[in-house]
Amino acid sequence: MANPKQANSNKVIILLCLVLSVIAIAIISTRGQSFKDATTTTTNLLEQSKIQQPFQVKLYYFPARKETASALTSHLSAQGYQVTMLPAATETSLQSAKSLPSHIFYDHYEFGKAMDIKKSIEAEIGFPVNAYKFKDSIHSGTMTIVLSAVIQQQGTEPLPPVSDSQ
């Protein structure tokens, strides 16, 4: 027969192991949850910073479209966008765009917002605008608009460029 002191000590050891196991499980599960909370908090802060920063729009225009660009700048600013209006002459890479239809460039991840802005632009200026994704997705929160000297009616060939009067 087993010694009563040995039986009591076995019970204490089993009870101690059980308590330590419960404590270890509680610590592990709590630690995993706090890590998950920290990750979620960081993600939420990033999303909030994107929401709080206004969407930035660079609007390049050719001289024949200066009035249209000014009206569009006012329209987009009233909608809460931060618009910078620049003459296309400041960007040498845009000189070939003078004879192309007006267009916008947007970030791939902002397709929905870009299409909403595109519709708004078309309604404001009265002619269609082509939309293209930026080659690289590093332009988050920005859009570039180029108002060319060409007006394209929907479903037709582009009209010839409007002469630049300076």
pLDDT, tens digit, 9 for 90 and up, residues 50-81: 555 667 889 999 888 899 999 999 999 998 88
Q: Are 69 and 141 found together in one domain?
A: yes
Q: Are 70 and 13 found together in one domain?
A: no
CB contact at 8 A, 147 and 61? yes
Q: Which residue do the tokens 């000590």 mark?
A: 9
Q: Are 77 and 118 found together in one domain?
A: yes
Return the bridge partners of 60, or none: 86, 146
Q: Is a pLDDT exceeding 60 seen at residue 106?
A: yes
Q: Are 41 and 57 found together in one domain?
A: no
CA dihedral (82, 148, 97, 135) in degrees, to 10, reads 30
158 found inside a domain: no
Q: Is a pLDDT exceeding 70 seen at residue 44?
A: no
- Enumerate residues 6+ apart whose C-beta is below 8 A from 143: 55, 56, 57, 58, 104, 105, 106, 107, 110, 114, 117
92 found inside a domain: yes
The predicted pLDDT at position 85 comes to: 92
152 found inside a domain: no
49 or 138: whose pLDDT is higher?
Answer: 138
81 found inside a domain: yes
CB contact at 8 A, 50 and 76? no
Count of domains observed in the chain: 2
Q: Are 42 and 73 found together in one domain?
A: no
Per-residue tokens: 117:
């802005």
CA dist., res. 25 & res. 159, Å (int): 73
CB contact at 8 A, 161 and 111? no
What is the value of pTM for the model shown? Answer: 0.57
163 found inside a domain: no
153 found inside a domain: no
- Enumerate residues 6+ apart whose C-beta is below 8 A from 78: none
166 found inside a domain: no
Q: Are 103 and 67 found together in one domain?
A: yes
Return the bridge partners of 112, or none: none
Burial 58-78 (b: 16+ CB within 10 A, else e): bbbbbbbbeebbeebbebbee
The domain boundary residue, chosen from 16, 34, 52: 52
Could you tell me the CATH number of the domain that includes residue 133?
3.30.70.2390
Q: Specify the range with the lowest mean pLDDT, choosing from 22-31, 35-44, 119-128, 147-156.
A: 35-44
Write out the residue range of the structural domain in which residue 98 sits: 53-147
User: Taking CA 61 as the corner, what is the angle to CA 60 and CA 65, rounded to the nearest 5 degrees?
Assistant: 155
Q: Specify the range with the lowest mean pLDDT, choosing from 7-21, 35-49, 120-134, 141-155.
A: 35-49
162 found inside a domain: no
CA 112 vs CA 39, 87, 107, 109, 119: distances in Å: 26, 27, 10, 8, 11
Per-residue tokens: 73:
């700048």
Q: Are 93 and 125 found together in one domain?
A: yes
